[in-house]
């Protein structure tokens, strides 16, 4: 078995299938020796922002010298991105060794009549094996979909649970109201374990607090009065955080989107609850926030070029909020694509109604989930008077959008799959290192 063969097999497992029963995931972990029990786990769920919160928390721990594993999804370019050891994706040999150990357990399970693990269950099991092999002290763990029935919820007693912003997404699976979705996310709360949550949505907060009270779990909410934005640049936002340990603390988050203020503040609040003895001093925590790199979430990849993977209603609202601020000072060009299962017409309508774009280029993502560029262009023309150009090939579309950008800003948005294709394109063009161009 080679690394390439392992990746090809994993990718052949359907991503969007019915979940196995929980006992199936437990059986897999049992056969692997319950590796998750050997590490201190920080468990994070939510609709938007959970990957960013995980990244901020992981960076703080790594900066403090803690051996830290990070498991997130999805990946943008290479599947190894999902498994990080002290902020570095695992190597191909390490990936393959973990796959082979998990695959041996899977084969034994199937012989005994258990179901084959889902795509996400395979990856989660590999993460736990990887982190055990590397003797990680801490693991920052992002849920896949939901929380209550998620494979990651096999962790019995995490150090702390964190619930990020909650909005309507995956409603066909998680429910069609904020309250129903919040119930699924709150399923990661464990008896007596503190939960830190985004408290800006009252409907979600009510559900989270009820579950926390039922389980006697201390609950700490982040509310709008606890932070204040001080200044913005094209690459970062300065804000003041005033809660717990952070009395009027100035924080710089290295992104231009307001939602990363929320995510970084939530991570800082979680660290304050987790690190009651304050072994990680405030200066180190704040410095780590400023050094956190998280791909595809309002990420400035070149001067005046931003990639954002927001792909649901809440993500698009936050995208619009950022564009509105930017367009006050310079023209904005948009490169857009989407996958078929998303409500892309509503996304387009919201963007066009709420922003003043100077030019739009639409493209399409390879694969059977793509929406043709021509169809996206037709929809844009219904809602905007800005010039709209359909360019099916992503490389050519990016070049066209860069031409139209001029001295303004180019936002590439609509799908994490688009961001992944663009990241791979830039890596090929620059040898994988963009730092010299920023």
Confidence of residue 301 (pLDDT cuts 50, 70, 90): confident
- Round to the nearest angstrom and report the end-to-end CA distance of the chain: 40
Query: Across-strand partners of 117?
Result: none
| Residue 328 near residue 399, CB atoms below 8 Å | no
Confidence of residue 367 (pLDDT cuts 50, 70, 90): confident
pLDDT of residue 18: 63
For residue range 277-294, what is the model confidence (pLDDT) as tens digits?
A: 999 999 999 999 999 988
| Residue 380 near residue 362, CB atoms below 8 Å | yes
Sign of torsion over alpha carbons 254, 256, 260, 262: positive
Confidence of residue 176 (pLDDT cuts 50, 70, 90): low
Burial of 145 (0-12, 13-18, 19+ CB in 10 A): middle
Give the phi and the psi of residue 249 in degrees, each rounded to 5: -85, 130
| Alpha-helical runs (H) found in 89-145 | 92-111, 119-133
CA dihedral angle for residue 24, residue 29, residue 31, residue 36, rounded to 10 degrees: -170
For residue range 74-84, what is the model confidence (pLDDT) as tens digits?
A: 898 899 999 99
Instruction: Count CA atoms within 13 Å of residue 219 on its CB side.
Output: 23
Q: Which one has a higher pLDDT value, 363 or 256?
A: 363
pLDDT of residue 311: 64
Instruction: Count CA atoms within 13 Å of residue 117 on its CB side.
Output: 28
Query: Across-strand partners of 255?
Result: none
Q: How many CB atoms lie within 10 A of CB 168?
A: 16
Q: Taking 50 as the threshold, does the pLDDT of residue 37 lie above it?
A: yes
pLDDT of residue 174: 60
Instruction: Select the CATH number that applies to the domain covering 3-291 from these four: 3.30.70.20, 3.40.630.10, 3.40.50.970, 3.40.1190.10.
Output: 3.40.1190.10
User: Distance between CA 363 and CA 370 in Å, rounded?
Assistant: 10
For domain 299-430, is the CATH number 3.40.190.10? no
Please provide the average confidence, as pLDDT, over all residues in the chain.
Answer: 90
Q: Taking 50 as the threshold, does the pLDDT of residue 436 lie above it?
A: no
For tokens 């909410």, the residue is 221
In order, the DSSP letters of 372-391 are: -HHHHHHHHHHH--S-EEE-
For residue range 141-155, what is the model confidence (pLDDT) as tens digits?
A: 999 877 888 999 999
User: Distance between CA 421 and CA 127 in Å, rounded?
Assistant: 24
Q: Taking 60 as the threshold, does the pLDDT of residue 437 lie above it?
A: no
Q: Taking 60 as the threshold, does the pLDDT of residue 121 lie above it?
A: yes
For residue range 410-430, what is the model confidence (pLDDT) as tens digits?
A: 999 988 889 999 999 998 887
User: Distance between CA 67 and CA 188 in Å, rounded?
Assistant: 24
User: Is omega for the bond preceding 412 within 30 degrees of 0, making it cis?
Assistant: no
**3-state percent breakdown (helix, strand, coil) of the chain, nearest 5:** 45, 20, 35
Nearest to 269 by CA among 251, 296, 294: 251
- Report the range of poorest mean pLDDT among 17-21, 173-177, 245-249, 272-276: 173-177
Burial of 141 (0-12, 13-18, 19+ CB in 10 A): buried
Note the Cα 215 to chain centre separation in Å.
Answer: 27
Global pTM reads 0.88
- Report the range of poorest mean pLDDT among 107-111, 250-254, 279-283, 336-340: 336-340
Percentage of the chain surpassing pLDDT 70? 95
| Alpha-helical runs (H) found in 292-372 | 313-326, 344-354
- What residue spans define the domains of the chain? 3-291, 299-430
pLDDT of residue 431: 66
Give the phi and the psi of residue 80 in degrees, each rounded to 5: -60, -25
pLDDT of residue 168: 65
Q: Taking 50 as the threshold, does the pLDDT of residue 438 lie above it?
A: no
Q: Taking 70 as the threshold, does the pLDDT of residue 107 lie above it?
A: yes
Residue 146 backbone class (left: φ over 0; alpha: ψ -120 to 50; beta: rest): left
Burial of 427 (0-12, 13-18, 19+ CB in 10 A): middle
What residues have CB less than 8 Å from 249, skipping those under 6 apart? 240, 241, 242, 282, 286
* Structural tokens at position 225: 């009065």
Confidence of residue 87 (pLDDT cuts 50, 70, 90): very high
| Residue 394 near residue 387, CB atoms below 8 Å | no
For residue range 42-65, what is the model confidence (pLDDT) as tens digits?
A: 999 998 899 999 999 999 999 999
Q: What angle separates helix 119-133 from helix 22-31, to the nearest 10 degrees?
A: 30
User: Distance between CA 85 and CA 91 in Å, rounded?
Assistant: 10
pLDDT of residue 312: 72
Nearest to 365 by CA among 398, 343, 388: 398
């Amino acid at each position: 078995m080679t690394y390439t063969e392992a990746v090809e097999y994993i990718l052949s497992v359907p991503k969007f299938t019915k979940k196995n029963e929980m006992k199936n995931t437990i059986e897999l972990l049992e056969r692997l020796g319950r590796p998750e029990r050997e590490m201190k786990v920080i468990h994070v769920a939510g609709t938007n922002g959970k990957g960013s919160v995980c990244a901020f928390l992981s960076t703080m721990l790594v900066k403090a010298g803690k051996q830290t594993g990070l498991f997130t999804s999805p990946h943008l370019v290479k599947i190894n991105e999902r498994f990080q050891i002290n902020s570095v994706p695992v190597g191909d040999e390490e990936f393959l060794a973990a796959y082979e150990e998990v695959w041996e357990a899977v084969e034994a399970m199937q012989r005994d009549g258990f179901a084959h693990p889902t795509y996400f269950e395979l990856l989660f099991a590999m993460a736990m094996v990887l982190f055990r092999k590397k003797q990680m002290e801490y693991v920052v763990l992002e849920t896949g979909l939901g929380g209550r029935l998620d494979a990651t919820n096999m962790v019995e007693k995490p150090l702390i649970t964190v619930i990020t912003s909650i909005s309507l997404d995956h409603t066909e699976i998680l429910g069609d109201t904020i309250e129903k979705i919040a119930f699924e996310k709150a399923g990661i709360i464990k008896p007596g374990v503190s939960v830190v949550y985004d408290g800006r949505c009252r409907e979600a907060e009510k559900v989270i607090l009820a579950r926390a009270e039922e389980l006697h779990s201390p609950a700490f909410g982040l509310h709008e009065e606890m932070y204040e934005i001080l200044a913005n640049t094209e690459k970062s936002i300065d804000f003041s955080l005033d809660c717990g340990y952070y009395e009027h603390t100035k924080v710089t988050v290295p992104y231009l989107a307001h939602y990363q203020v929320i995510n970084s503040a939530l991570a800082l609040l979680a660290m304050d609850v987790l690190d009651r003895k304050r072994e990680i001093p405030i200066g180190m925590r704040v410095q780590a926030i400023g050094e956190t790199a998280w791909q595809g979430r309002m990420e400035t990849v070149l001067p005046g070029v931003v990639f954002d993977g927001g792909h649901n209603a809440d993500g698009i609202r936050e995208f619009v909020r950022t564009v509105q601020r930017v367009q006050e000072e310079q023209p904005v060009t948009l490169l857009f694509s989407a996958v078929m299962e998303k409500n892309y017409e509503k996304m387009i309508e919201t963007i066009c109604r709420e922003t003043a774009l100077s030019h739009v280029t639409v493209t399409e993502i390879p694969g059977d989930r793509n929406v043709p560029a021509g169809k996206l262009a037709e929809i844009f023309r219904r809602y905007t008077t800005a010039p709209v150009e359909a360019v099916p090939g992503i490389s050519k579309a990016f070049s066209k959008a860069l031409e139209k950008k001029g001295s303004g800003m180019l936002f590439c948005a609509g799908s994490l799959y688009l961001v992944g294709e663009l990241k791979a394109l830039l890596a090929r063009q620059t040898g994988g290192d963009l730092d010299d161009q920023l």
